[in-house]
Homo-oligomer: A and B are copies of this chain.
Amino acid sequence: MSGNSIGKLFCVTTFGESHGPALGCIVDGCPPGLELSVADLQRDLDQRKPGTSRHTTQRREADEVKILSGVFEGKTTGTPIGLLIENTDQRSRDYSDIAETFRPAHADYTYHMKYGLRDYRGGGRSSARETAMRVAAGGIAKKYLKECLGMEVRGYLAQLGPIKVRRLCWDEIDNNAFFCPDPDIVPELEAYMDALRKEGDSVGARINVVATGVPPGLGEPVFDRLDADLAHALMSINAVKGVEIGDGFACIEAKGSCFRDEITPQGFLSNHAGGILGGISSGQSIVAGIALKPTSSLRLPGRSINVRGEPVNVVTTGRHDPCVGIRATPIAEAMTAIVLLDHLLRHRAQNQHVHTSLQPVPAEL
């Protein structure tokens, strides 16, 4: 129950640092009888892993996951699933500069202030490398949701810097390096990223996640609302600075007469609420969006201080993502799936039946 666990019934606890020997996690609470193999998890891991295109960090990690427990004869047994990924590309380099310096906008300063010491190699625990385990654990959740209930959790890049997606073609997402659903803007994205890399700068992004086939009734009043737990899970992703459910911040200027999603016997007429009413799923698609800040690891020098409080100039020379948002899509999917499965199990505990929903309105872009 310390800070490295998420979920009450489907509970994921991760460990591992960027440049330690391995990353790992324990998935506790997965129902028994689910067919599960390494192959089920590897696809999402491959999507998240670094070095797959010139637009992401050139660190090379195989990110091959091992299942150490909880699966027997190809099926989950109900006991905790231990997962492990060994770090293979921790270059032996000299960290003495970074050891004493607080890189601006990194967790260096806050970890140091919190703990009094820190593993400074590649950001240690604060590195996004930890999210590999989230993707692995989320893969289990996604498989269960899909096989047992037909639910699907899918994400996509909705905006990269100033470039916004204009149409949502689900089939296109895997056809480019950006998880972009709009093939028309892919050349634009590539040109933008190439220029950015030359500048030595970075930029933010927006990822949307949509869950379909969600039964109504998931979510608990009043604190563990489904949207509150999604906000927690999504905000826990490195670099995320904002979370929206449904229309999100656009609701501020909306009138109630337009915003409320009216219902007919044939289904909801709109989905401004993003599939959640009173913290509980309505059976419509769950729609969430997140904003990811630009990475702070830049070749452009920045002012900061060292552990002695002296001013220093920081230039990042390591391998970094100019847009951390690009690789965040499978992570956002994973976190969403973990929350949904956790709430499905919580719902089942208290309520005997999982209801069928009204025909949901399709989620719009």
Contacts and interface: CB of A to CB of B under 8 A. Distances in A.
Contact of A294 (B22, B109, B223, B254): B254
A62 interface: no
A39 interface: no
Given A20-B68, A248-B291, A293-B251, A201 B256 contact: yes
Interface stretch (A79-87, A167-175, A182-190): A79-87
B15 A82 contact: yes
Contact of A69 (B17, B30, B66, B236): B17
9 contacts: A3-B224, A4-B28, A4-B220, A105-B260, A107-B221, A125-B222, A202-B256, A243-B243, A265-B310
Contact of A235 (B8, B228, B345): B228
Contacts of A352: 31, 348
* Best-surrounded residue of A32, A232, A276, A297 (most CB of chain B within 10 A): A232
A193 interface: no
Contacts of A357: 113
Contacts of A269: 303
Contacts of A33: 115-117
A68 B22 contact: yes
Contact of A105 (B3, B28, B273, B300): B273
* Best-surrounded residue of A17, A80, A309 (most CB of chain B within 10 A): A80
B280 A4 contact: no
A302 B260 contact: yes
Contacts of A350: 9, 29-32, 78, 345
A27 to B, nearest CB: 9
Nearest to A130: B222
A240 B322 CA distance: 32
B219 A110 contact: yes
A322 B31 CA distance: 34
A229 B224 CA distance: 11
Contacts of A102: 263
A3 B248 CA distance: 23
Interface in A2-19: 2-11, 13-17
Contacts of A79: 4, 15, 17, 119, 124-125, 221
Given A72-B117, A77-B124, A110-B280, 16 more contacts: A9-B349, A14-B26, A14-B80, A14-B222, A15-B28, A17-B72, A24-B68, A25-B26, A32-B116, A77-B115, A80-B125, A105-B261, A110-B216, A230-B235, A242-B242, A256-B300
B257 A300 contact: yes
* Best-surrounded residue of A113, A236, A269, A295 (most CB of chain B within 10 A): A113
Contacts of A94: none
A256 B252 CA distance: 28
